[in-house]
Amino acid sequence: MSNDKLPSRKDNFAEWYNQLVIKAELADYAPVRGCMVVRPYGWALWENIKEALDLRFKDSGHVNAAFPLFIPMSFMEKEKEHVQGFSPELAVVTHGGGQKLEEPLIVRPTSETVIGHMYSKWINSYRDLPVLINQWGSVVRWEMRTKLFLRTTEFYWQEGHTAHATHEEAQEETLRMLDVYEDFAITEAAVPVLKGRKSDSEKFAGALRSYTIEAMMGDKKALQSGTSHNLGQNFAQAFDIMYLDKNNERQYCWTTSWGLSTRFIGAIIMTHGDDQGLILPPRLAPYQVVIVPIYRNDEEKSVVSPVVDQIKRQLKDASIRVKVDDREEVTPGFKFNDWEMRGVPLRIEVGPKDVSKNSVAFARRDMPGKTGKSFVSQENLIVRVNSSLEEIQKTLLKKATSFRDQNIYEMTQSDNLNEVSLESWAFGWWCGREECETNIKSETKATNRCIPLNQSGQRGECFFCGKPATEKSYFARAY
């Protein structure tokens, strides 16, 4: 821990991010190029994300399982688009137990192929459908330019893989899980994502259609934060995932896959953080409350400590995640900075005066300085803490939503995307042609982020090339 200042977000957003991740002890660089270590504070955040998602998965009928880390190279080659998309990123095991392997194994970059293989064994009849399985684990994609949480060679995620009897059911599942991601992002992380369909060039290698939730970071760049894919019958055909229907005829299944990764921690950091450091949404924060005892000598300490202990117990009993910072070797001021940097939503200070007045000081992380400070009675403390945490959660969402909405620019044909995309997201009529998309990317570095599901049904002219357009779409520079 240190109290060194971070670079300001305005001066150097990238460096602000890199230093913050290290200083807040969220993650560290592993000795293997491109890999990360998720430190206990970062992992506790991920565990809270996992719990919030897992509950939603189970509520919607999904179960967890574990599939192997290694995939035979030949499996990757069974789905043509899939292998094209992933082969530049593969890590290959060539030796095992001191012997050269007959067939090289790849370390899974995603598990459609091996799970498809197992589904072809397990699924026989329409009665076995739907199969709704999720896996928590890590995957490996060889990355040249890495950034902690956002892009690392190994990353942690969940991948859902489902099989259905009809295209309609697979499509429903795909959109259901997109909604689950949207609800999680907004409700738990206070990250106001926009959801939609990916353009053809941005879709998952092997998918029929891909859907995404997209978040706007503090530097106005976009971050793809979770994806859900309707895989059609592509993997079912490649891996013979078939079922006997009610008429005793063999049919190919329709499959989906959907994933959300530790990348989402990057979304939280860059959505809410400020120049002092992290600001964590209370519903996901490893510590929702930090208590800092204030005293100048042993006598004051003996007055303050029992009250601190008692408050801590009260909060714990109410299932509020609380940390008491009782370090002796640093000052309260150092502790304030430290926990502000680490983004704890609410700080409670307890000094001798507070004890005598039966009060404590609250300091809200989302409102720096005096504005966020208040003195509250120790009576009904749990109610006060809970309502503060809820208030902070709401404020974070409101602030991020208003920032997002202020930075979406409705395009007309006379606007220059190159200028717009430096300062905001562009939203407007788009022709949907791959050629136009390629031109946009090479001229402006902006990419299609998503095409919203609900369109007006009207028509317009592409803001970039002027050709006819039936849908409006978001474009932005992205991570």
Which residues are near a second copy by CB under 8 A?
Answer: 28, 30-32, 35-40, 42-44, 46-47, 63-72, 75, 87-98, 105, 107, 114, 117-118, 121-122, 127, 133, 137-138, 140, 142-144, 153-154, 156, 329
The smaller minimum CB distance to a second copy, of residues 45 and 426, is found at: 45
Compute CA 47 distance to the chain's CA centroid, rounded to the nearest angstrom: 12
Compute CA 9 distance to the chain's CA centroid, rounded to the nearest angstrom: 20
Contacts of 426 (CB under 8 A, 6+ apart): 408, 409, 411, 415, 417, 420, 446, 463, 474, 475, 476
CB of 327 to a second copy, least distance (A): 8
CB of 33 to a second copy, least distance (A): 9
Q: Please check whether residue 39 is in contact with residue 30, taking contact to mean a CB–CB distance below 8 angstroms.
A: no
CB of 121 to a second copy, least distance (A): 7
CB of 257 to a second copy, least distance (A): 17
The smaller minimum CB distance to a second copy, of residues 32 and 298, is found at: 32
The smaller minimum CB distance to a second copy, of residues 109 and 196, is found at: 109
Alpha-carbon dihedral 260, 266, 270, 275, rounded to 10 degrees? 160
Beta bridge partners of 322: 289
The smaller minimum CB distance to a second copy, of residues 92 and 422, is found at: 92
The smaller minimum CB distance to a second copy, of residues 60 and 378, is found at: 60
Which long-range contacts does 5-11 make (Cβ < 8 Å, 24+ apart)? Answer: 6/275, 6/276, 6/277, 6/341, 8/275, 9/218, 9/219, 9/273, 9/274, 9/275
CB of 125 to a second copy, least distance (A): 9
CB of 321 to a second copy, least distance (A): 12
CB of 74 to a second copy, least distance (A): 10
Identity of the amino acid at 18: N
| β-pair type (322-324, 289-293) | parallel
What are the b/e assignments for 335-344, b being 16+ CB within 10 Å?
Answer: bbbbbbbbbb
Which of 272, 273, 258, 176 lies closest to 225 in space, CA to CA?
Answer: 258
CB of 212 to a second copy, least distance (A): 25
CB of 89 to a second copy, least distance (A): 6
The smaller minimum CB distance to a second copy, of residues 39 and 433, is found at: 39
Identity of the amino acid at 158: Q
In angstroms, the CA 159 to CA 283 distance is 23
The smaller minimum CB distance to a second copy, of residues 94 and 439, is found at: 94
CB of 156 to a second copy, least distance (A): 6
CB of 31 to a second copy, least distance (A): 5
The backbone torsions φ and ψ at residue 273, rounded to the nearest 5 degrees and listed phi first, read -60, 155
Enter the DSSP assignment of 4. P
The smaller minimum CB distance to a second copy, of residues 66 and 356, is found at: 66
The smaller minimum CB distance to a second copy, of residues 156 and 204, is found at: 156
The smaller minimum CB distance to a second copy, of residues 136 and 403, is found at: 136
Q: Encode 366-427 in three state secondary structure.
A: CCCHHHHEEEEECCCHHHHHHHHHHHHHHHHHHHHHHHHHHCEEECCCCCCHHHHHHHCEEE
CB of 102 to a second copy, least distance (A): 10
Q: How far is CA 471 from CA 222, 228, 261, in A?
A: 20, 20, 29
The smaller minimum CB distance to a second copy, of residues 28 and 434, is found at: 28
The smaller minimum CB distance to a second copy, of residues 68 and 466, is found at: 68
Q: Please check whether residue 49 is in contact with residue 265, taking contact to mean a CB–CB distance below 8 angstroms.
A: yes
In angstroms, the CA 432 to CA 430 distance is 6
